[in-house]
Structure 1
Amino acid sequence: MSTPLNYRHLYYFWVVAKEGGMARAAERLDMAVQTVSAQVRMLEQSLGHALLKPAGRGLALTEAGTAAMAQADQIFQIGEQLPAAVHEAATGQGLRLAVGIAEGLPKLVVRHLLEPALRDPRVRLRCEEDEIERLLADLALHRLDVVLSDVPPPPNPNLRLYGHKLGEAPMAWFAPASVAALCDQPFPQCLQHMPILLPTHQAAVRPRLDQWLERHQLRPRLAGEFEDSALLAAFGRSGMGAFPASHWSRQELLQDPDMRLLGETPEVLEHFHLVSAERKIQHRLVQALLAVPPG
């Protein structure tokens, strides 16, 4: 059985690496140089590798030290957040929710998915958008409480993550009145005579949309492809073309009196997933997201 890591020794090493030398680290820690040096040597002995090497008048990281420093940075950055998290929980201000939004997830849907957690006016929400791989890494390090995505988490033996099916919604096609007037044929044949906008192939729903168009023998002019669904809707609203959006976006889109619903495509579904770092969800706000099926 391996010896448990001594986090005090790791902290001394972290300070030495930050300060670039034993003397400066000892001054910051208000300790004797010999004591700090001895603690770092004990860490090196427990890990079985040298972490520091002489560099001029100071010290530099070895390759092993660089790897150890990357981990120590993550550990102590999280530790620095501990007092604030404890204070907020103890004073009843702990209703924080940090959400990762995967690129390609329709932004008009995100508000709908998060609505069950936003019913308490005390909630403080923080959303970050990024590539799914980066978001999952932050989730594993507990920098995020949850990640929302249009695909389930990929299997990764190095990350302990759990996927939860959050819901699914059929797609529908919309267009501003100027575009809808280009054809008086019924849906979906009307799309053949309109420019259309589609999400890029990064979006999980794009292949299903392509298959649907092919199934109906529709080959309209593709006027644009957008990675960001909000941009897609914005250009569609401006008159660039007809565009697909989740059924959950219908109410918001049709608040614009110039927008038209061309037709529904119930056979084309958009899937939504919630990814957590816990098998059994403890975060009250994340529990709320899973307790109420979106509809």
Structure 2
Amino acid sequence: MEWLNYHHLYYFWNVVREGGITAAGKRLNLVPSTISSQLTTLEETLEVKLFHRVGRNIEPTEMGQLVFQYADEIFSLGRELMDTIHGHPKAGRIPLRVGIVDALPKMIVRDLLDPVFKLPEPIRLICCENKKEALLAELALHKLDIIISDSPIGTGMSIKAYNHILGECGVTFFGVDELSGPLEADFPYSLSGTPILMPLQETTLRNDLDVWFESLKITPLIVGEFDDAALLKAFGQRGDGVFMAPTVIEEEVQRQYKVSIVGRTEKVQYRFYAISIEKILSHPAVLAISTAASHTLFAEKVAG
């Protein structure tokens, strides 16, 4: 069995972290030529190319990024080991790297991830928010364990990944008292001509809302469009327009933003997916998220 030289791996890890051989050399008090030779030896041992040159700089290849992820976990566990031996509190042993599509409501993301902190195994939660396409690229490089998304991965994608439905619920519309009061009686038709805050057009929710409004011949006055759900709610809290959120968190929205319910619909649905490269989920924290979502978060609303 061929053993990995962890000194070589440690040099590689520092080069990636510091952004180059020279910077890593300063951190390790080594001349660049020493580090370069160790990197070459590591590449020969692994039989892969770890870096490619971009202008005057070097950047990790796809395989280099994968090796860095493993190295990061290895040295993180090493620090944990030393902390444990010397009686320091242990950090989370099992990392969970979650990509979050930036258009998702933060409240429901928090509720979806809440089971992570109730597991007997200590978990270190690492959240990264970005556009779905960027997150899928990270997932393909094994830099994420799952992506929480409002839409499934489509066909024709270069990455082979699987959709795991977490749950779905209707849409609740909110507004400050001055707006919500007059709109409740004739909802949803009262939304015609009413100032409304909407998600951006390329989102799944926006497309579904547009179709629903058109089917009912409702023409709201769109005064703002947002790719960030929290920012949209902040404008709604000021009274700039009616806004929407998942029905399962309507009580939290009312409490936090001091707004009232205008109305609800089940004709438009928020849907939430976990996207992973695994067909069958195995990470204990991901399994807890999936189980709690289907049996608690969304099930309670259905039962109610």
Q: Secondary structure at the match of 2:160?
A: coil
Q: Is there any run of 5+ residues in structure 1 with no aligned partner, and where?
A: 1-5, 53-59
Question: Residues of 1 paired with 2:254 and 2:184: CA distance?
Answer: 20
Sort the Cα spacing of 1:62 and 1:231 in 2 relative to 1 into closer, same or farther, 3 A: closer
Question: Residues of 2 paired with 1:41 and 1:200: CA distance?
Answer: 45
Question: Residues of 1 paired with 2:278 and 2:184: CA distance?
Answer: 52
Question: Residues of 1 paired with 2:279 and 2:144: CA distance?
Answer: 15
| % identical equivalent positions | 29
**2:96 aligns to what?**
97
Choose 1 or 2 for highest CA Rg: 1
Asked if structure 2 preserves the Cα contact closer than 8 Å seen for 1:202 and 1:227, the reply is: no
**2:301 aligns to what?**
none
Cα deviation for residue 87 of structure 1 reads 6.4
Asked if structure 1 preserves the Cα contact closer than 8 Å seen for 2:62 and 2:141, the reply is: no
Sort the Cα spacing of 1:258 and 1:282 in 2 relative to 1 into closer, same or farther, 3 A: closer
**2:105 aligns to what?**
106
Q: Which amino acid aligns with 1:109?
A: I
Question: Residues of 1 paired with 2:222 and 2:54: CA distance?
Answer: 54
Question: Residues of 2 paired with 1:205 and 1:62: CA distance?
Answer: 39
Q: Which amino acid aligns with 1:83?
A: F
Which of 78, 81, 105 is the aligned partner of 2:73? 81
- The alignment covers a number of residue pairs equal to 267
Asked if structure 2 preserves the Cα contact closer than 8 Å seen for 1:176 and 1:259, the reply is: yes
Q: Which amino acid aligns with 2:65?
A: Q
Question: Residues of 2 paired with 1:166 and 1:99: CA distance?
Answer: 14
Q: Which amino acid aligns with 1:152?
A: P
Q: Which amino acid aligns with 1:151?
A: S
Sort the Cα spacing of 1:288 and 1:182 in 2 relative to 1 into closer, same or farther, 3 A: same
Sort the Cα spacing of 1:103 and 1:192 in 2 relative to 1 into closer, same or farther, 3 A: same
Question: Which whole-Å deviations, capped at 9, do the CAs of 1:49-105 have from their partners, x for residues lacking one?
Answer: 9x99xxxxxxx9599xx79x5235314422243232476599784143221101222
Q: Secondary structure at the match of 1:245?
A: strand
Sort the Cα spacing of 1:126 and 1:158 in 2 relative to 1 into closer, same or farther, 3 A: same
Sort the Cα spacing of 1:140 and 1:189 in 2 relative to 1 into closer, same or farther, 3 A: same
Question: Residues of 1 paired with 2:67 and 2:78: CA distance?
Answer: 16
Question: Residues of 2 paired with 1:290 and 1:144: CA distance?
Answer: 16
Q: Is there any run of 5+ residues in structure 2 with no aligned partner, and where?
A: 23-30, 85-89, 299-304
Question: Which whole-Å deviations, capped at 9, do the CAs of 1:234-270 have from their partners, x for residues lacking one?
Answer: 1111100111211122011121584111111111111
Computed over aligned residues only, the root mean square deviation of the Cα atoms, in angstroms, reads 3.9
Runs of 4+ in 1 over 6 A off after TM superposition: 40-43, 89-92
TM-score with structure 2 setting the length? 0.72
Question: Residues of 2 paired with 1:100 and 1:219: CA distance?
Answer: 35
TM-score with structure 1 setting the length? 0.74
Cα deviation for residue 180 of structure 1 reads 1.8
Correspondence list, 1:145-156, <5 A: 145-155=145-155
Q: Secondary structure at the match of 2:142?
A: coil
Which of 24, 34, 39 is the aligned partner of 1:27? 34
Asked if structure 1 preserves the Cα contact closer than 8 Å seen for 2:198 and 2:243, the reply is: yes
Cα deviation for residue 232 of structure 1 reads 0.9
Q: Secondary structure at the match of 1:255?
A: helix
Question: Residues of 2 paired with 1:145 and 1:237: CA distance?
Answer: 35
Q: Which range moves more in the overlay, 125-134 or 74-83?
A: 74-83
Q: Secondary structure at the match of 1:202?
A: coil
**2:117 aligns to what?**
118
**2:220 aligns to what?**
220
Asked if structure 1 preserves the Cα contact closer than 8 Å seen for 2:184 and 2:263, the reply is: no
Asked if structure 1 preserves the Cα contact closer than 8 Å seen for 2:97 and 2:145, the reply is: yes
Sort the Cα spacing of 1:88 and 1:291 in 2 relative to 1 into closer, same or farther, 3 A: farther
**2:282 aligns to what?**
282
Q: Which range moves more in the overlay, 114-123 or 82-91?
A: 82-91
Correspondence list, 1:137-176, <5 A: 137-155=137-155, 158-176=158-176
Asked if structure 2 preserves the Cα contact closer than 8 Å seen for 1:182 and 1:194, the reply is: no
Question: Residues of 2 paired with 1:157 and 1:243: CA distance?
Answer: 33
Asked if structure 1 preserves the Cα contact closer than 8 Å seen for 2:198 and 2:232, the reply is: yes
Q: Which amino acid aligns with 2:100?
A: I
Q: Which range moves more in the overlay, 155-164 or 232-241?
A: 155-164
